[in-house]
Structure 1
């Protein structure tokens, strides 16, 4: 279940979302050339990635922020930027540019602390913007639970795009992170499930004041759980390839073989 777009264009240009995306991409490009050199990349992670054991020793508190702009590979970066692009603009529109930036940073720091608490002595470096982006998704769930999100479902050779309410996609995603957190060993590396779950929960809580200022349940009633903008509608373009009719045997120049 892979989200590819929502139906909710923002009412203003999401400058902060674009700046965050540019920063993540630019920083990744600045060190991607050393990723094949184990000595150099490990030294880089040691300086800038979030390593729970360092926090446990009272060191490297700045990595709670710096780790949010690092990624372990092209697909890691691409997936995070897609999620940020889909969900970030509406949250920025609702919170304002500065408020959204503070919200994003706070959710990312909360995600880092949650990962630290799950394995304080771990020496495995944590990198990625997904904790902060999970916070954006948590805020989106609270503010726009019925917004339409197009998801791509892939099952072996079958794939299809379905529009579903945001709350279904986000609730399933959060449940997977929560369950995954109990089934994984944070000290062994892999997906930082607890960072995702912690960031999501933090974003949900941090969005409550905005939701209350908009009227709380009355905001949902007024907007029907959608962003307060006209909904975008998508349709698959018709193919420009001409259709060829089948000839019957005995007519025209002969049967088709």
Structure 2
């Protein structure tokens, strides 16, 4: 896994939409009931039950979206005592959930600080240039469209699943796909875990191409014993959607500025 820290690709305008998306994700995360356990490192049963109820309400659930099978019992946020001891209480939903709208609300939910900060780092580094190229309104529509494509793509591939899907990863994967199409030769500073962290400056097509290949392998079950809670298939679908949407913009995209200074101990050559 590589960690991007900076790209050598200046923008012409302030990326207000990117900043607003990051702020919205942080505010929603801090406002999520029961999320304090991810901050302090421990959660009480009451916090976990509130979090489970909130997630069930606003997360994308493939079975609900594709098969329109809404559950008759959901976590209510309360605590009860059963034959196996204390646990979260189930009851009829006290709300009318829109499965289609949940694709949107799920984009702003995260399960931990690590989940949130990882997504926001990628969005901050790569989203500003896509917003600069598309303009504020088109970029916002593009972001939401990629999130919907990723959500529906994952749901179609897991239509029987009742596990909730949360996170901005699918929409942000679309941003990465667009960046690969529009700015493949831009240099990106990354940190590679090797002993400590090894800083490298590589073209975006290597950084993002490697990221996409890993997601594709993981989504097929290769390289990992289990996909766990990471929706790799959503990343793949979102990335491809971002590439396809960005393709018509490629002819009018100005080339990135030539980097100054050495690359791996030698000076960059034009066109590399």
TM-score range, shorter chain: 0.7 to 0.9
Instruction: State the match for 2:214 in structure 1.
Output: 176
CA RMSD of aligned residues (A): 2.2
Note the C-alpha offset of 1:191. Answer: 0.8
Greater share of residues in strand: 2
| CA distance in 2: counterparts of 1:19 and 1:181, whole angstroms | 30
Instruction: State the match for 1:75 in structure 2.
Output: 114
Note the C-alpha offset of 1:2. Answer: 1.4
Pairing 1:116–2:120 present: no
Note the C-alpha offset of 1:79. Answer: 0.4
Structure of higher RCO (CA pairs closer than 8 Å, 6+ residues apart): 1
Partner residue of 2:58 out of 43, 48, 54: 48
Equivalent runs, 1:218-237 vs 2, <5 Å: 219=253, 223=255, 226=256
Note the C-alpha offset of 1:33. Answer: 3.8
| CA distance in 2: counterparts of 1:232 and 1:146, whole angstroms | 14
Unaligned runs of 5+ in 2: 38-42, 69-97, 263-272
Instruction: State the match for 1:39 in structure 2.
Output: 49
Greater share of residues in helix: 1
Note the C-alpha offset of 1:189. Answer: 4.3
Pairing 1:160–2:198 present: yes
Please give the secondary structure, in 2, of the residue aligned with 1:190: coil
Change (3 A) 1:122 1:189: farther
| CA distance in 1: counterparts of 2:115 and 2:206, whole angstroms | 23
Instruction: State the match for 2:10 in structure 1.
Output: 9
Pairing 1:64–2:100 present: no
Structure 1 length-normalised TM = 0.80
| CA distance in 2: counterparts of 1:3 and 1:138, whole angstroms | 15
Change (3 A) 1:49 1:94: same
Note the C-alpha offset of 1:232. Answer: 8.2
Structure ID, larger Rg: 1
Please give the secondary structure, in 2, of the residue aligned with 1:115: helix
